[in-house]
A and B are shown apart, each in its own frame.
Chain A
Amino acid sequence: MIKFFLMVNKQGQTRLSKYYEHVEINKRTLLETEVIKSCLSRSNEQCSFIEYKDFKLIYRQYAALFIVVGVNDTENEMAIYEFIHNFVEVLDDYFSRVSGPSHTQASPYRAASPTCFQAGNQSSRCLC
């Protein structure tokens, strides 16, 4: 079961957060800080899964942006790991085709969305 979904940049700023179980606002900030801290402490040689409290964190890094998913222990880590990538591909696909008025359509995704996911391509629209 997925408990939360986070996009956080290397500076520790939250770009997107979605909680599937209610967490109080002040606790969210704390959790996000700790989560990004533990993600940043990992090297490439280490695996993409972290234990944090009673959650498992599964993270992927796209340029300066971390996508972190918190799950409980019934989840298949690798499936979530690939799910993150699927999500990113969908976002990328969706937003790169979109232009005109709907681009300005209000959406919290917008802030973190467009092509910045393609690692290395820190394009002009990147808000990481």
Chain B
Amino acid sequence: MSDIVEKTLTALPGLFLQNQSVSGPAAAKASFSSRLGGLVRGITALTSKHEEEKLIQQELNNLKATVSAPTTTLKMMKECMVRLIYCEMLGYDASFGYIHAIKLAQQGNLLEKRVGYLAVSLFLHESHELLLLLVNTVVKDLQSTNLVEVCMALTIVSQIFPREMIPAVLPLIEDKLQHSKEIIRRKAVLALYKFYLIAPNQVQHIHIKFRKALCDRDVGVMAASLHIYLRMIKENSSAYKDLTGSFVTILKQVVGGKLPVDFNYHSVPAPWLQIQLLRILGLLGKDDQRTSELMYDVLDESLRRAELNHNVTYAILFECVHTVYSVYPKSELLEKAAKCIGKFVLSPKINLKYLGLKALTYVIQQDPTLALQHQMTIIECLDHPDPIIKRETLELLYRITNAQNITVIVQKMLEYLHQSKEEYIIVNLVGKIAELAEKYAPDNAWFIQTMNAVFSVGGDVMHPDIPNNFLRLLAEGFDDETENQQLRLYAVQSYFTLLDVENVFYPQRFLQVMSWVDASLSFLDGFVAEELSQGAAPYKPHHQRQEEKLSQGKVLSFEPYGLSFSSSGFSGRQSPAGISLGSDISGNSTDTGLKETNSLKLEGIKKLWGKEGYLPKKESKTGEETEALPVPQENIIMENVDQIITKNDQSQALTQSKEEKEKQLLASSLFVGLGSESTINLLGKADTLSHKFRRKSKVKETKSGQTTTSQNMTRSSFSSSSNVTYEEDYYLDNFQDRGDKEVKKFSLNSELLDSESLTELPLVEKISNCRLSTPSLFADNNMEVFHPPQSAAASVANEISLTSSLLEETTEHMHSDLMEVCNNETISVSSYKIWKDECLLMVWSVFNKSASELKSANLEMAPAENFKITEQPGCCLPVIEAESTKNFQYSVQMEKPFTEGNLSGFINYQVMDTHSVQLEFSVNLSLLDFIRPLKISTEDFGKLWLSFANDVKQNVKMSESQAALPSTLKALQQELRLHVVDIIGNEGLLACQLLPSIPCLLHFRVHGDMLALWFRSSCSTLPDYLLYQCQKVRAWIDPQLPVPIPCFHPGMTRAFKAECFVSVFLSSRCKKHGKSGGDLVSKDSESPGHLCIVYPKTQS
């Protein structure tokens, strides 16, 4: 033991003596307290855990005897509680004292009560049964005239309170919001915050009171209310946009030093309050230009004010940077924020460096050039002695991984993996490596080797999806049979080599993988071959989806993208058949031209993805290519290349040491592709960053578009279609014979295209042109700028119609049929979906069948994991008259992508004055309910196409080739709500978006009897899902066609995979082929949702 303890021991008696001498009358009390002192002293003096255990057991036995003795006074009990708290804090069970803690809170005087409450809050947890015994005490104390008692009760409520007892105290606490003492108001707000956390529904009605708390004259009360607001805004920012001004004003006052000095921390005014406010602003300004504009000033001021050299100002700065990058971008602020990040990253203080890396990781996706700027620092951090810094750097690299730098990044990750021992880190890292390897693997050998490394290190702890995905990939293979064979052969060979090494331990799961591969490949070979022969399109990994058939056929039509890059010689590179522009440039295959797009490009890649010779090759080659490239990219790419070159030159000139050169080389290989990719991203940024931005530029285009010829307008479609007069002509031409209402229907609903209107193909395009002008997709604020009369009216109607009758609403929007969800003898509840442009509107129509009126009718939705449900105003009276219908409307937004979801809720009502009746119901929602057409121009399509990383491609067989295109188009448009962007020859471009704003693009092309579908999106799961839906639609067009095996993706949920399999295999026409398929499925059909069908060997 150290001498500190010795000192302590000698000092302690003096300490207590001193206390006693100072406080004569308290001497008696001191004797009790010194027991705790004695206990602490005793424990500190011990040298082993075993001794400690013995001492505490003894102590606990004493305490047990004391607390249960009838002679024990409350004062003694209080002292016992303190020791019990201490024992339990050290990890020894003191549950025998819990009930006494509650009693103490009930019966004691102020001080004893306080200790009792403290003990309760430390001993019990939310669902502890004893907690119910506390409720009465709390209610009593809340009504007390003694402020201290009220405070204590409020404190315990905000710490721990049983959810089901909230109604018992809620009114009392609400009253306290008006209390004259600010401390009571503050504690009441915190208690309500607690309620909001555990039962948000119960405090919904007091939102207006929260607003009062926000404007409270006391800073403490205001600060307390921010907790609630941060939470609520996180869940639904749109409902609180009107408060932006208030938050901005508050932050301005805080930053301007208007708070009392008590709130200063090292002369920084209320730093944690500032951080809280910055977070709230970040959430409010996200994707919302108008709201963001309100906060630019105060953000700028925050960045400026936080110049003081203190840790806490760095914390504020970090939050500020985060907010600046979250809200709608403003270049000045971004610049300042980037500078700030630079300061962090370059700081010698290790904590700041960490903060800088974290900030960089956050902003890297929006601004990859920032990574280029700091590339040397990042390289240094990669070899930092602190593993935490290293890990944060790897996290950053993980975000910028692409097909060019994958080998280097994965190598770095594996290095780290070999060093780490903690399970959590291994699991996390292994998952990331496997994900990257599947996504970007340059060749088979590399892939197998990487996966071998992953299995041998993380085999015991990894997520079971990893081996499953891997085996599936081996089993299903690619489109090229020889390639498959090679991959499998390589895998088996590598396993033999590994197994040959003696005395090496491999994780169980790795051995399973090996044995599975060896033992059952043949079985699956047969299966795969059989399916292939039936026209099934097999799984293709990302890097090999390049299709020979497609590109062999003939030169692609490049017109879809022609508007921005129509230069003929090179347009092949921008077409969907080429890999993305970025990878092409830095991929720098040796020969250019058509031949390249035809082949799989594996040769070029293999050469390049080696470790050697990145830098010089890349520079020269990229330079060449950029020269040949058409206009818009050229400059930017050149800039980026220049940047790299000058950087390299500079540092090379500075030092020629070998080490430095190595770092340079590493940098160039790590950040390869990033420059060119950033070009695309930057290009795309104007488009993808925010819809509104694009919208704005469209207005400009429109202006210029008006001067061009009308033919031109048709070609460039949407940009010019907002020309109102022009559009009206369209209506006249095309819909002359249809009623006014019909026209409206067409212009507002993409889905309502009936079969008549599609008799001639060009019409599809024209209709989609007209449709552009609908308010739809971008629920933004500058909408009114260029809307044609109809849609302006429609958007107004949208708002009004929420309160008005359904009929109006339903004529405007596509809706589902009325379906009864539940009923009883008095009421019948039906529901239907209205697929509104900006959300899904669920309408529950409650029909009162009885002859008497229903009182306090209330319909409530259960909070669902994947959805954000907002009640629409419009039903004010909770009374349903006899034999009448009342509608409840809820708008539903999806929070994270899913395939199937369930929305449940209940309705309760009272007949006359009897007891209330509750009726539960639920409806199913599918992802398709949230898909809306994305109305973009061909040009935008081209840009977006290049900026998306996730793609899925598949060939499907068609029965009759050419005639299938229009009908397929029609089906896709009707069933999936895709938007037909353009049709050129035998190619079609379609676009849709997943609400609120995840775009997905589809390129499809008819070639002979094959239909090549190619999806791209910014979301990894969306393409797979849509592909699956397309296949379903296609089967609907032509039931004779075989349905291919769905292609899988690591991001898919298990349930969805199961659904695919079940639906595919159970379909009758699949069943009659192939015994293996049937067998597998029958196993599954008994327990749907169970995935053993896919990998019988490994799952069991």
Q: Which residue of A lies closest to B274 (CB)?
A: A79
Complex: A125 Cα to B353 Cα, angstroms? 37
- Do A106 and B272 touch (CB < 8 A)? no
Residue in A77, A79, A104, A127 whose CB lies within 8 Å of B8 = A127
B75 to A: closest C-beta gap in Å? 11
Whether B178 is near chain A, meaning CB under 8 Å from some CB there, is: no
- Do A106 and B355 touch (CB < 8 A)? no
Whether B918 is near chain A, meaning CB under 8 Å from some CB there, is: no
Give the segment of B82-90, B791-799, B969-977 that binds chain A. B82-90
Complex: A77 Cα to B36 Cα, angstroms? 35
Known A-B contacts A101-B25, A111-B86; the reply to A76 vs B315 at CB < 8 A is yes
Whether B445 is near chain A, meaning CB under 8 Å from some CB there, is: no
- Do A47 and B354 touch (CB < 8 A)? yes
Whether B33 is near chain A, meaning CB under 8 Å from some CB there, is: yes
Residue in A14, A50, A122 whose CB lies within 8 Å of B91 = A14
Complex: A46 Cα to B30 Cα, angstroms? 44
Contacts of A107 in B (CB 8 A): 82
Interface residues of B in 1-41 (CB under 8 A from A): 1-2, 4, 7-8, 11, 14-16, 19, 22-23, 25-26, 29-30, 32-34, 36, 40
Whether B742 is near chain A, meaning CB under 8 Å from some CB there, is: no
- Do A108 and B86 touch (CB < 8 A)? yes
Contacts of A78 in B (CB 8 A): 311-312, 314-315, 318, 351, 355
Complex: A126 Cα to B507 Cα, angstroms? 49
- Do B424 and A48 touch (CB < 8 A)? no
Contacts of A29 in B (CB 8 A): 90-91
Whether B265 is near chain A, meaning CB under 8 Å from some CB there, is: yes
Complex: A47 Cα to B79 Cα, angstroms? 41
Residue in A13, A46, A104 whose CB lies within 8 Å of B23 = A104
- Do B8 and A82 touch (CB < 8 A)? no
Residue in A54, A83, A104, A111 whose CB lies within 8 Å of B26 = A104
Interface residues of B in 278-321 (CB under 8 A from A): 311-312, 314-316, 318-319
Contacts of A122 in B (CB 8 A): 4, 7
Interface residues of B in 602-653 (CB under 8 A from A): none
A118 to B: closest C-beta gap in Å? 14
Complex: A25 Cα to B124 Cα, angstroms? 11
Interface residues of B in 348-379 (CB under 8 A from A): 350-351, 353-355, 358
Whether B93 is near chain A, meaning CB under 8 Å from some CB there, is: yes
Residue in B4, B14, B43, B358 whose CB lies within 8 Å of A128 = B4
A34 to B: closest C-beta gap in Å? 10
Complex: A100 Cα to B33 Cα, angstroms? 13
Whether B385 is near chain A, meaning CB under 8 Å from some CB there, is: yes
Complex: A121 Cα to B134 Cα, angstroms? 43
Whether B517 is near chain A, meaning CB under 8 Å from some CB there, is: no
Interface residues of A in 10-66 (CB under 8 A from B): 10-11, 13-14, 16-18, 22, 25-26, 28-29, 32, 45-54, 63-64
- Do A76 and B318 touch (CB < 8 A)? yes
A18 to B: closest C-beta gap in Å? 8
B307 to A: closest C-beta gap in Å? 16
Complex: A35 Cα to B271 Cα, angstroms? 28
Whether B745 is near chain A, meaning CB under 8 Å from some CB there, is: no
Known A-B contacts A101-B25, A126-B7; the reply to A47 vs B391 at CB < 8 A is no
Contacts of B319 in A (CB 8 A): 76, 79
Contacts of B1005 in A (CB 8 A): none
B255 to A: closest C-beta gap in Å? 16
B650 to A: closest C-beta gap in Å? 29
For A14, A103, A106, A108, the residue with the greatest tally of chain B CB atoms inside 10 Å of its CB is A106
Contacts of B92 in A (CB 8 A): 25
A54 to B: closest C-beta gap in Å? 7
A12 to B: closest C-beta gap in Å? 9
Complex: A49 Cα to B387 Cα, angstroms? 11
A1 to B: closest C-beta gap in Å? 10
For A26, A63, A103, the residue with the greatest tally of chain B CB atoms inside 10 Å of its CB is A103
Residue in A17, A45, A106 whose CB lies within 8 Å of B115 = A106
Complex: A88 Cα to B813 Cα, angstroms? 61
Whether A3 is near chain B, meaning CB under 8 Å from some CB there, is: no
Residue in B8, B43, B86, B385 whose CB lies within 8 Å of A46 = B385
Query: How many chain A residues have a CB neighbour from B under 8 Å?
Result: 50
A92 to B: closest C-beta gap in Å? 14
Whether B388 is near chain A, meaning CB under 8 Å from some CB there, is: yes
Q: Which residue of B lies closest to A18 (CB)?
A: B122
- Do A100 and B385 touch (CB < 8 A)? no
- Do A46 and B315 touch (CB < 8 A)? no
- Do B355 and A77 touch (CB < 8 A)? yes
Whether B126 is near chain A, meaning CB under 8 Å from some CB there, is: yes
Whether B1072 is near chain A, meaning CB under 8 Å from some CB there, is: no
Residue in A14, A28, A48, A105 whose CB lies within 8 Å of B351 = A48
Residue in B23, B81, B89 whose CB lies within 8 Å of A100 = B23
Whether B258 is near chain A, meaning CB under 8 Å from some CB there, is: no
Whether B840 is near chain A, meaning CB under 8 Å from some CB there, is: no
Known A-B contacts A99-B22, A111-B40; the reply to A47 vs B389 at CB < 8 A is yes
- Do B315 and A79 touch (CB < 8 A)? yes
Contacts of A128 in B (CB 8 A): 4, 8
A120 to B: closest C-beta gap in Å? 12
Contacts of A52 in B (CB 8 A): 424
- Do A25 and B93 touch (CB < 8 A)? yes
Residue in B44, B115, B122, B424 whose CB lies within 8 Å of A13 = B44
Whether B78 is near chain A, meaning CB under 8 Å from some CB there, is: yes
Contacts of B36 in A (CB 8 A): 106, 110-111
Interface residues of B in 950-977 (CB under 8 A from A): none
Contacts of A86 in B (CB 8 A): 265
Contacts of A28 in B (CB 8 A): 91
- Do B85 and A13 touch (CB < 8 A)? no
- Do A45 and B15 touch (CB < 8 A)? no
B747 to A: closest C-beta gap in Å? 44
- Do B386 and A104 touch (CB < 8 A)? no
Residue in A18, A22, A83 whose CB lies within 8 Å of B272 = A83
Contacts of B115 in A (CB 8 A): 106
Contacts of A95 in B (CB 8 A): none
Residue in B88, B354, B386 whose CB lies within 8 Å of A25 = B88
- Do B78 and A106 touch (CB < 8 A)? yes
Contacts of B34 in A (CB 8 A): 104
B82 to A: closest C-beta gap in Å? 4
Contacts of A45 in B (CB 8 A): 350, 385-386
Contacts of A104 in B (CB 8 A): 16, 19, 23, 26, 29-30, 33-34
Residue in B19, B85, B125, B265 whose CB lies within 8 Å of A103 = B19
Q: 4 tightest CB-CB pairs across the interface, nearest first? A: A101-B26, A124-B11, A29-B91, A22-B125
User: 20 A-B contacts, Cβ less than 8 Å apart?
Assistant: A13-B44, A22-B125, A45-B385, A46-B385, A76-B275, A76-B318, A79-B271, A79-B272, A79-B319, A81-B351, A99-B19, A100-B22, A100-B26, A104-B29, A106-B33, A110-B36, A124-B11, A124-B14, A126-B8, A128-B4
Knowing that A50-B388, A100-B23, A104-B23 are A-B contacts, what are 12 other residue pairs whose CB atoms are under 8 Å apart, sorted by A's residue number?
A10-B2, A14-B91, A25-B93, A26-B91, A46-B388, A76-B275, A77-B351, A78-B315, A81-B315, A108-B86, A108-B89, A126-B11
